[in-house]
Amino acid sequence: MYYWRDLDSVPAEFGPSVLTLGNFDGVHRGHQRVLQQVVEAARQRSAAAVVVSFDPHPAQVHRPESAPELIMGLEDRVATLAETGIDALLMMHYTLDLAADSPEEFVERVFVRALKAKAVVIGHDVRFGRGNSGDLDTMRALGRTLGFEVITIDDFGASFPVDATDADGDRRCSSTWVREALEAGDVGTAARVLGRYHRMRGDVVHGAARGRELGYPTANLAASSQGFIPADGIYAGWLVDQAGTRWPAAISVGSNPTFDGVDRQVEAHVINRPPERVQDFDLYGQAVVVEFVERLRGQVAYRGPEALIEQMKLDVDQARGLLSTEQQPRR
């Protein structure tokens, strides 16, 4: 996949293309359906399949005090978009200057002159250009004027029940839904909307070493780690180390209320460490990925280390049993 961070990086000879526009935070199943149609339409027209996206998220520029927490960091977003089969990604640096472009200026400069669009694939609720003044009708009018086809797609609903209050057992797949699920600790629903387990990515740093003292050493993610932090609690999941090895893990999110003065953190205890390395299994300094499979329980304050150790053993046993039979969510 070609990856460009500005228009000047797009080769002058690039094109023609079939493209789509969006933030694609989470690259959930609804996004995947859009991208699949972009790829199919591009192949039918002997064109390149292109995504135009933004970094930072526009909401972080226009209303930073109320912008939503992002589901995934930029590195994961780029890697996940590449997995969809698109040929090129233009990740435009979002600024107030860019936001000041009229719909006509933006489309002509980016879609037509730089990417030579044959077709644009968008949803019915598309908004673009200064003050979000451009909509589907605007895009269709620009397509007629500038010579590209506009392909509209419907929202993608989940193929599983949402809750008892939903008459049709369906809901539009969205980044908002994923965030709501993660805020509630419902990583199972988040995984079904995403089509894969929710993950965080970051460096392993030194913590208080309290887990090691209790017999359950953990890999502590740096505060700068990327990815939405789910609700406090204990989770079964996976830790993928820098070499790409995937280890089963019991993951703790929170401040560990049994002990005072502990900041909120994400830490993962690797289950079934190699016997020959059980004492020196060292992940410090590695860039790792933590995947959340299922929430086992919420955070609880225990009366001293002994009760906590007993519960940690139960957590690890439960996580081990669950992960031994786990299946990756289907896209």
Tokens at 79, concatenated: 């890697």
Take residue 7 and report the two structure tokens written for it: 């228009």
Q: What integer pLDDT is reported at residue 330 of this predicted model? A: 44
pLDDT tens figures, 29-87: 999 999 999 999 999 999 999 999 999 999 999 999 999 999 999 999 999 999 999 99
Q: Nearest to residue 192, comparing CAs of 157, 224, 167, 225?
A: 157
Please write the tens of the pLDDT for every residue from 278-287. 455 678 899 9
What's the pLDDT at 32? 94
Q: Which of 292, 251, 249 minimizes the C-alpha distance to 271?
A: 249
Q: 237 or 273, which is more confident?
A: 237
Confidence of residue 306 (pLDDT cuts 50, 70, 90): confident
Q: What is the mean pLDDT of residues 179-183?
A: 97
What's the CA gap between 197 and 181, in Å, rounded?
Answer: 12
What CA–CA distances, in Å, run from 209 to 217, 233, 262?
7, 19, 12
Confidence of residue 159 (pLDDT cuts 50, 70, 90): low
Diameter over CA atoms, the chain = 73
Sequence-distant (≥ 6) Cβ neighbours of residue 193 within 8 angstroms: 28, 29, 158, 173, 174, 177, 178, 181
Does 195 score more than 80 pLDDT? Answer: yes
pLDDT surpasses 80 at 263: no
Higher pLDDT, 273 or 23: 23
0.75 cut: is pTM over it? yes
pLDDT band at 300 (very low <50, low <70, confident <90, very high): confident
For residues 100-124, average pLDDT: 97
H/E stretch holding 244: none
Indicate the pLDDT class of residue 166, thresholds 50, 70 and 90.
very low
Q: Is there a contact between 150 and 117 (Cβ–Cβ < 8 Å)? A: no
Q: Stretch 124-152: mean pLDDT, rounded?
A: 96
Express each pLDDT in 237-248 by its tens digit. Answer: 999 999 999 999
Percent of the chain with pLDDT over 70: 85
Neighbours of 90 (CB within 10 A): 24
What is the helix, strand, coil percentage profile of the chain, to 5? 30, 25, 45
Residue 104 confidence (pLDDT) above 60: yes
With a pLDDT cut of 90, the percent of the chain lying above it is: 74
Distance CA 288, CA 243 (A): 9
Category of 292 on φ-ψ map: left (φ > 0), alpha (ψ -120 to 50) or beta: beta
